[in-house]
Amino acid sequence: MNKTLVIYRSKTGFTERYARWISEALSCDLAAYGDRKQQSFDSYDTILFGGWIHAGRIQGVKWFLSQAPKLEGKKLAIFATGAAPAGSPGISKAWEQNLTEEERAKIKTFYFQSGLSYERMGLPDRLMMSAFRAMLKKTEGDSEAYRMVQRSFDCASKDAILPLVEFCRES
């Protein structure tokens, strides 16, 4: 039977929630990024990594990509969560910036829109978001994106994981 592991890096909880939904749907193992060094990948056929996008960078993805050479022959996928709607230009740009063309050819990628949680962010991130809001206001005025980031929101959806679950079930 195909054995799958989901490793996730999460700060405010969205990526963890998606990782839990995936592990429930696939009845597979789940590990937090902090426990990555205790993980042995040998017994798994499929390994999924999930990280959140921080100013265009997928958190933890560098580590996951550095493991890829020893995961040769296994099925690999990366999912990223972010506040931007799926299909927005910033998301395709993030994939291009975080993975090389070669990596993208080997590793399947998925994006899940999540939201923002100002309550659970650390102070540096709250300050960064405040600078981002000011920048948006200056460049776009009262745009939809500007209005969206004014306060916390949660638009994570369990249905969003279906293509990833399907990908894992395909032999």
Ligand X SMILES: Cc1cc2nc3c(=O)[nH]c(=O)nc-3n(C[C@H](O)[C@H](O)[C@H](O)COP(=O)(O)O)c2cc1C
11 lies in the binding site for ligand X (CB under 6 A): yes
Q: CA-CA distance, 90 to 28, in Å (whole number)?
A: 31
78 lies in the binding site for ligand X (CB under 6 A): no
60 lies in the binding site for ligand X (CB under 6 A): no
129 lies in the binding site for ligand X (CB under 6 A): yes
If we measure between CA atoms, which residue out of 10, 47, 11, 8 comes closest to residue 123? Answer: 11
- Shortest distance (Å) from residue 98 CB to ligand X: 11
86: Cβ–Cβ under 8 A, 6 or more apart, which residues?
A: 111, 112, 113, 160
Do the Cβ atoms of 114 and 11 come closer than 8 Å? no
Total site size for ligand X, rule CB under 6 A: 24
- Pick the piece of the chain touching ligand X (CB under 6 A) from 29-37, 68-76, 95-103, 115-123: 115-123
**From the list 1, 55, 105, 131, which residue makes contact with ligand X (rule: CB under 6 A)?**
55
Of residues 72 and 119, the one with the C-beta less far from ligand X:
119
Do the Cβ atoms of 76 and 106 come closer than 8 Å? yes
Do the Cβ atoms of 25 and 161 come closer than 8 Å? yes
31 lies in the binding site for ligand X (CB under 6 A): no
At position 132, the amino acid (one-letter code) is F
**From the list 31, 67, 125, 145, which residue makes contact with ligand X (rule: CB under 6 A)?**
125
Do the Cβ atoms of 13 and 120 come closer than 8 Å? yes
Q: Which two tokens stand for residue 91?
A: 């998301």
Q: Which residue is nearest to ligand X (CB)?
A: 82
- Pick the piece of the chain touching ligand X (CB under 6 A) from 4-12, 31-39, 62-70, 101-109: 4-12
15 lies in the binding site for ligand X (CB under 6 A): yes
